[in-house]
């Protein structure tokens, strides 16, 4: 053992050290090549083309025992396999190593965008590990484009980039291109008027698809990505974790909401704990499911939900991953999994239990009411407040645009009424759970949360906004940034 990986810890707020060996990079290479083969059947790309990749390494450090530790993506980007993948799939990332691994995600994003524009004619697809990074990068682009096109025109590099190694590497690649710059300027002026609808096909005319993890906690960003992508297809990327890769998307043409992952049985020894939802038994407050004995891969059943258990080649023995999946069907003999949610991530005050997925559905319904006000939801999270009596849910929203208090009240009411969990409905009716509270946080709050995680050693590549939190630091950021509060009027009569 030479290396440890830090799992991102952004879903449960707790990072873990996981063994990482050469085998880990090799399976990463294997799954990426496999996925590329399936994608190229549906969306062939030109050999030797470029990939606009929004990828980021975080800092590495030595443990007391002398092992190198860092996130799994950081190890992979630094491994020979990262280069081998580009050669084998004949697609090459636009950014050099200095841009990926400099540790300053803002500077990396600027350079990824600049080089992506510089090579725009050659870009065959756009990608990141989790779709959050693509959306954040294009949100940044809306502000940065005026600087970017000047750098393209003059072959210069903005003063924002102050890391000498990065400056040297980027300036070694770009050269003045006034024709491309004026094209970019014209496109951006037009796109501004369209609220950036269709940004991707306009600026990257040869991009065949956008490829990233869009399932699970990433689902809420897909709507925003759809605006940028317009007619360019979205391809949902593979299912895996720092602990082990799990499954590959063998149907790349399916939209993100229908995607399943065919388990690759050689990556780990997989077992599955059958989970049964307990809606009726109100005493089962501590956990949301009743568990059966684990079954091997060959005995899973279609339609059943399971928690994944891994025995890995790097040394984890019967390790519970904490993810809930549903078997959607089979690909040859291997199950195709539907990602449902992180198991422990539930909102609960008393007998109610709402998963990440339940919350997502509710927020989706509530935020639809924003569209009449031309506002949009940027990000959200939640907290079950049990300190006040009766306890109640708080949902935090960051929104773009101005919204009247009346509309926010309607959104809040809609969300409260949309939780269908029986325990919640009963508790709301008898007021053992108080009215849902919607707190609007100021612009940039979720960026602060991201920065907090990055400061603790997480990598932007692996960041996932926690959809439910009791983390004290996070709550204090959210509460300090709250600018408006509204309470639901559902269940009032
Ligand atoms: P990490 O701790 O950064 O290794 O993140 C691993 C976790 O990210 C998994 O256990 C899942 O909860 C989530 N994840 C990874 N891939 C996917 C995917 N394709 N769809 C949904 N969630 C995913």
* pLDDT tens string 212-256: 999 987 887 898 899 999 999 999 999 999 899 999 999 999 999
Residue 493, domain member (yes or no): no
Kindly state whether residues 355 and 271 are assigned to the same domain. Answer: no
Kindly state whether residues 323 and 393 are assigned to the same domain. Answer: no
Highest mean pLDDT among 151-160, 335-344, 381-390, 463-472: 151-160
User: How much distance in Å is there from the Cα of 341 to the middle of ligand 1?
Assistant: 9
Atom of ligand 1 nearest to the CA of 71: 3
Atom of ligand 1 nearest to the CA of 321: 10
Kindly state whether residues 286 and 419 are assigned to the same domain. Answer: no
Higher pLDDT among residues 296 and 59, named by residue: 296
Q: Please write down the HEC assignment for all residues of the chain.
A: CCEEEECCCCCCCCCCEEEECHHHHHHHHHHHHHHHHHHHHHCCCCCCEEEEEECCCCCCEECCCCCEEEEHHHHHHHCHHHHHHHHHHCEEECCCHHHHCCCCHHHHHHHHHHHHHHCHHHEEEEEEEEHHHHHHHHHHHHHHHHHHHHHHHHCCCCCCCCCHHHHHHHHCCCCCCHHHHHHHHHHHHHHHHCCCCCHHHHHCCCCCEEEEECCHHHHHHHHHHHHHHCCCCEEECCEECCCCEEEECCCCCCCHHHCCEEECCCCEEEEEEEEEECCCCCCCCCCCEEECCCEEHHHCCCCCEEEEEEEECCCCCCEEEEEEEEEEEEECCEEEEEEEEECCCEECCCCCCEEHHHHHHHHHHHHHCCHHHCCEEEEEEEEEECCCCCCEEEEEEEEECCCCHHHHHHHHHHHHHHCCCHHHHHHHHCCCCCCCEEEEECCCHHHHHHHHHHHCCCCHHHCCCCCCCCCHHHHHHHHHCEEEEEECCCCCC
User: How much distance in Å is there from the Cα of 237 to the middle of ligand 1?
Assistant: 11
Span of 9-23, 145-159, 300-314 with lowest mean pLDDT? 9-23
Q: How far apart are CA 214 and CA 236, in angstroms?
A: 5
User: How much distance in Å is there from the Cα of 320 to the middle of ligand 1?
Assistant: 14
Kindly state whether residues 106 and 228 are assigned to the same domain. Answer: yes
Question: Which residues have any ligand 1 atom within 6 Å of their CB?
Answer: 7-8, 11, 213, 215-216, 238-242, 321, 323, 339, 342, 462
Kindly state whether residues 353 and 321 are assigned to the same domain. Answer: no
User: How much distance in Å is there from the Cα of 245 to the middle of ligand 1?
Assistant: 10
- In the structure, what pLDDT confidence band is assigned to residue 134 with cuts at 50, 70 and 90? very high
The yes-or-no verdict on residue 461 having pLDDT over 70 is: yes
From atom 16 of ligand 1, which residue's Cα is the shortest distance away? 239
- In the structure, what pLDDT confidence band is assigned to residue 50 with cuts at 50, 70 and 90? very high
pLDDT at position 9 is 59
User: How much distance in Å is there from the Cα of 200 to the middle of ligand 1?
Assistant: 26
Question: Across the chain, what does the average pLDDT equal?
Answer: 91
Q: What is the pTM of this model?
A: 0.81
Which of 288, 313, 342 is the C-terminal boundary of a domain?
Answer: 342
Residue 447, domain member (yes or no): yes
Apex 146 CA angle, 143 and 152, nearest 5: 130
The yes-or-no verdict on residue 482 having pLDDT over 90 is: yes
User: How much distance in Å is there from the Cα of 240 to the middle of ligand 1?
Assistant: 6
Of 56, 71, 239, 321, which is best to mutate to test ligand 1, by the most ligand atoms within 8 angstroms of its C-beta? 239
Host domain of residue 431: 346-487
User: How much distance in Å is there from the Cα of 284 to the middle of ligand 1?
Assistant: 27
Atom of ligand 1 nearest to the CA of 239: 19
Atom of ligand 1 nearest to the CA of 9: 2
261: nearest Cα among 238, 244, 231, 293: 238
From atom 6 of ligand 1, which residue's Cα is the shortest distance away? 241
Atom of ligand 1 nearest to the CA of 238: 19
Kindly state whether residues 361 and 233 are assigned to the same domain. Answer: no
User: How much distance in Å is there from the Cα of 458 to the middle of ligand 1?
Assistant: 14
The yes-or-no verdict on residue 341 having pLDDT over 70 is: yes
User: How much distance in Å is there from the Cα of 208 to the middle of ligand 1?
Assistant: 25
Of 212, 323, 340, which is best to mutate to test ligand 1, by the most ligand atoms within 8 angstroms of its C-beta? 323
Kindly state whether residues 312 and 393 are assigned to the same domain. Answer: no
203: nearest Cα among 285, 282, 144, 245: 144
How many domains does the chain contain in total? 3
Residue 255, domain member (yes or no): no
- The string of pLDDT tens digits covering residues 405-437 is 999 999 999 999 999 887 788 889 888 899 999
Kindly state whether residues 351 and 338 are assigned to the same domain. Answer: no
Kindly state whether residues 228 and 313 are assigned to the same domain. Answer: no
The yes-or-no verdict on residue 202 having pLDDT over 90 is: yes
Residue 29, domain member (yes or no): yes
Of 13, 216, 460, which is best to mutate to test ligand 1, by the most ligand atoms within 8 angstroms of its C-beta? 216
């Amino acid at each position: 053992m030479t290396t440890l990986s830090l799992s991102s810890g952004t879903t449960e707020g707790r990072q873990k050290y996981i063994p990482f060996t050469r085998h880990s990079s090799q399976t990463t290479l294997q799954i990426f090549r496999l996925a590329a083969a399936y994608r190229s059947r549906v969306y062939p790309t030109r050999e030797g083309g470029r990939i606009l990749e929004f990828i980021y390494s975080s800092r590495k450090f030595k443990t007391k025992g002398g092992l190198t530790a860092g996130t799994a993506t950081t190890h992979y980007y630094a491994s020979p396999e990262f280069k081998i993948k580009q050669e084998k799939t004949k697609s090459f990332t636009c950014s050099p190593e200095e841009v990926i691994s400099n540790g300053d995600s803002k500077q990396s994003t600027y350079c990824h965008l600049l080089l992506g524009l510089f090579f725009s004619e050659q870009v065959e697809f756009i990608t990141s590990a989790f779709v959050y990074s693509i959306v954040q990068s294009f949100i940044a682009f809306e502000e940065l484009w005026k600087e970017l096109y000047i750098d393209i025109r003059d072959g210069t590099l903005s003063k924002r980039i102050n890391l000498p190694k990065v400056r040297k590497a980027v300036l070694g690649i770009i050269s003045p291109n006034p024709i491309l710059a004026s094209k970019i300027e014209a496109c951006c002026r037009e796109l501004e008027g369209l609220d950036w609808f269709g940004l991707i096909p306009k600026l990257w005319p040869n991009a065949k698809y956008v490829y990233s993890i869009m399932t699970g906690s990433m689902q809420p960003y897909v709507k925003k990505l759809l605006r940028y992508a317009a007619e360019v297809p979205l391809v949902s990327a593979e299912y895996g974790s720092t602990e082990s890769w799990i499954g590959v998307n063998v149907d790349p043409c399916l939209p993100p909401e229908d995607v399943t992952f065919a388990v690759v049985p050689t990556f780990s020894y997989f077992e599955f704990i059958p989970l049964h939802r307990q809606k009726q038994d109100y005493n089962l407050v501590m956990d949301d499911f009743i568990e059966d004995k684990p079954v091997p891969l060959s005995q899973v059943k279609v339609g059943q939900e399971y928690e994944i258990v891994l025995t890995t080649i790097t040394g984890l023995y019967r390790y519970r991953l904490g993810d809930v999946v549903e078997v959607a069907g089979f690909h040859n003999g291997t199950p195709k999994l539907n990602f449902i949610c992180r198991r422990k991530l539930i909102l609960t005050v008393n007998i109610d239990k709402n998963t990440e997925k339940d919350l997502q559905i509710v927020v989706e319904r509530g935020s639809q009411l924003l569209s009449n006000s031309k506002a949009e939801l940027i990000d959200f999270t939640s907290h079950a407040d049990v300190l006040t009596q009766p306890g109640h849910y708080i949902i935090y929203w960051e929104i773009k645009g101005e919204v009247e208090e009346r509309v926010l009240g309607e959104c809040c009411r809609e969300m409260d009424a949309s939780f269908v969990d029986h325990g919640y409905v009963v508790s709301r009716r008898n007021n053992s759970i108080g009215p849902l509270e919607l707190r609007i946080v100021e612009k940039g709050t979720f960026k602060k949360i991201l920065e907090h995680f990055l400061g603790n050693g997480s990598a932007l590549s692996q960041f996932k906004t926690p959809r439910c939190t009791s983390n004290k630091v996070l709550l204090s950021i959210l509460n300090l940034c709250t600018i408006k509060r509204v309470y639901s009027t559902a269940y009032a009569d």
